Amino acid sequence: MLASYICAVCGEEVETVVDESQGMIQEYIEDCQVCCRPNVLRVQIDPETDEITIDASFEE
């Protein structure tokens, strides 16, 4: 599923693909497509609505 998040480094909105088969709560690192800096993505998928929420934080 396509979803988007705000990069924790540059503040740009970035689209990403979320793999639902990995569970309803996920955490992984993805490089921003704009600034190429790593973001820690915390993904939650609502099982009733399939709404995806992504919190991005700067990887230290």
pLDDT digits 0-9 by tens, 1-50: 999 999 999 999 999 999 999 999 999 999 999 999 999 999 999 999 99
pTM of the model: 0.91
Q: How confident is the model at residue 53 (pLDDT cuts 50, 70, 90)?
A: very high
Q: Which token pair is 45?
A: 């998928």
Closest CA to 5 of 26, 29, 32, 24: 32
Q: How confident is the model at residue 60 (pLDDT cuts 50, 70, 90)?
A: confident
Region label for 8, one of left (φ > 0), alpha (ψ between -120 and 50) or beta (otherwise)? alpha
Specify burial of residue 5 (Cβ count, 10 A radius: 0-12, 13-18, 19+): buried
Q: Identify the pLDDT of residue 8.
A: 97
